[in-house]
């Protein structure tokens, strides 16, 4: 880990972040056949009627287009959440749109749901399924779906139709499905977290998923850390009322409080969602609030600022059933998932 950190701090931080991501992901995919033969670390976790190989997963955003699922599983992730996938393919926001704040062990992104779209991703997943046949194995696959940017957020019917397209095409390949209404990088998206808009959207996605699958695919919602506590409670109560399978807490934050990076660095990065160590405290608070409100049967996925084994244990003690990392993986390197999974198991 020390060697990777030295490489990151002295070499990778001097490379454009998005280009570095692309190069690193290409290397992971190239190593995929060898990685897929490695033993999955940690202990199994039973949640949502599924058996996860271990507690730690890779959050959505790293593999947006389902091109490296099994290679990422080979790094030790017990589940891989692809996406966010939108109904229509879109290029996302103009570059540069990904920035590091090394002093804070944080990342700011305004990617804007750049992805190939639901049809292309579904075709890729169908090919993966055909290649794998009945062999099974590999990580649990989560599919995170979001709103196409051009769909107006104030047109509820259009929003529901857009999410429904993704659900119809992708639910047959998902071990679980996530409705993302909490990225700060699609204009108006976070307004869908209001229960008046969220309830019919989740119920519609649930209905579509049930129509296109032979068995019930668990459905979760991913929420923002910037919600007021009262709104978090409303989402928790809604999830309970409609029989949602789980909640992912949390997405990135638009806040910039308590950062140690220079004001010039923060200003240069500009708008976007902040992830990494600075998110830890609020993500932990939201998780605790959710767990105090929902039943033990509802699955809570803790994400945001999980860097160390101690962070992981704290999140589990606060009520998480499963964990996810993204920025921790970027800063800690390829042994991140194995270290977390084995550390928690011990």
> Which positions are catalytic?
183
Calpha distance 44→35 (Å, rounded): 19
Is the Cα torsion angle 46, 49, 53, 54 positive or negative in sign? negative
> What spatial distance separates the first Cα and last Cα of the chain, rounded to whole Å?
19
113 in a labelled binding site: yes
Residue 299 is labelled as binding a ligand:
no
Tell me the C-alpha distance between 101 and 286, whole Å: 24
Q: Is 63 annotated as a binding residue?
A: yes
- Annotated ligand binding at 77? The verdict is no
Torsion angles phi and psi, residue 38, rounded to 5 = -80, 155
Report whether 99 belongs to an annotated binding site. Answer: no
Is 240 annotated as a binding-site member?
no
Q: Is 188 annotated as a binding residue?
A: no
Q: How far is CA 149 from the centre of its chain?
A: 19
Q: Is 250 annotated as a binding residue?
A: yes
Tell me whether residue 276 is annotated as binding. Answer: yes
For residue 246, give both structure tokens: 């789980």
The annotation status of 280 as a binding-site residue, yes or no, is no
Host H or E run for residue 139: none
What are the strands, taking DSSP E only, across the chain? 45-47, 50-52, 56-58, 79-86, 98-101, 106-109, 140-146, 176-180, 219-223, 246-249, 273-276, 299-303, 322-325
What DSSP character marks residue 253?
Answer: B
Structure tokens at 292: 């105090």
- Residue 240 CA to its chain's centroid (Å): 22
Q: Does the annotation flag 329 for ligand binding?
A: no
- Whether residue 54 is annotated as binding a ligand: the answer is no
**115 annotated binding-site participant:** no
110 is in an annotated binding site: yes
Quote the CA–CA distance of 261 and 281 in Å, as a whole number.
Answer: 18
User: Given the structure tokens 């001097």, which residue do they identify?
Assistant: 14
343 is in an annotated binding site: no
The answer to whether residues 326 and 275 touch, using CB atoms and an 8 Å cutoff, is yes
Binding site as annotated, residues: 60-64, 84, 109-113, 144, 180, 185, 222, 250-252, 276, 305, 326-327
Q: Binding site residues for substrate, as ranges?
A: 64, 109-113, 180, 185, 251-252
Feature table: binding site for FMN: 60-64, 84, 144, 180, 222, 250, 276, 305, 326-327
């Amino acid at each position: 880990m020390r060697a990777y950190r030295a490489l990151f701090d002295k070499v990778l931080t001097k490379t454009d972040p998005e280009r570095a991501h692309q190069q690193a992901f290409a290397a992971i995919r190239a190593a995929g056949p060898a990685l897929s033969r490695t033993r999955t670390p940690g202990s199994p976790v039973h949640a949502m009627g599924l058996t996860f190989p271990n507690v730690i997963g890779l959050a959505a955003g790293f593999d947006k287009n389902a091109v490296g699922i099994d290679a990422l599983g080979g790094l030790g992730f017990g589940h891989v959440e692809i996406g966010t996938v939108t109904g229509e393919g879109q290029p996302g926001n103009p570059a540069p749109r990904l920035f590091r704040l090394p002093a804070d062990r944080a990342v700011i992104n305004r990617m804007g749901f750049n992805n190939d779209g639901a049809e292309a991703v579904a075709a890729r997943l169908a090919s993966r399924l055909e290649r794998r046949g009945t062999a099974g194995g590999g990580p649990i696959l989560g599919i995170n779906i979001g709103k196409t940017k051009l769909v107006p957020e104030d047109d509820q019917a259009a929003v529901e139709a857009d999410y429904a397209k993704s659900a119809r095409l992708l639910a047959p390949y998902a071990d679980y499905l996530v409705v993302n209404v909490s990225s700060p990088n699609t204009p108006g998206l976070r307004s869908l977290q209001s229960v008046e808009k969220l309830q019919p959207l989740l119920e519609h996605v649930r209905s579509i998923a049930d129509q296109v699958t032979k068995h019930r695919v668990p459905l979760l919602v991913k929420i923002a850390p910037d919600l007021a506590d009262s709104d978090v409670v409303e989402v928790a109560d809604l999830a309970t009322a409609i029989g949602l399978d789980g909640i992912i807490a949390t997405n990135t934050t638009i806040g910039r409080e308590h950062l140690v990076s220079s004001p010039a660095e923060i200003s240069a990065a500009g708008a976007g969602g902040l992830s990494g160590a600075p998110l830890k405290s609020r993500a932990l608070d939201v998780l605790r609030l959710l767990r105090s409100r929902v039943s033990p049967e509802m699955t809570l996925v803790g994400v945001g600022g999980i860097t160390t084994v101690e962070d992981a244990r704290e999140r589990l003690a606060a009520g998480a059933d499963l964990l996810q990392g993204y920025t921790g993986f970027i800063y800690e390197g390829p042994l991140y998932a194995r270290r977390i999974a084995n550390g928690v198991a011990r």
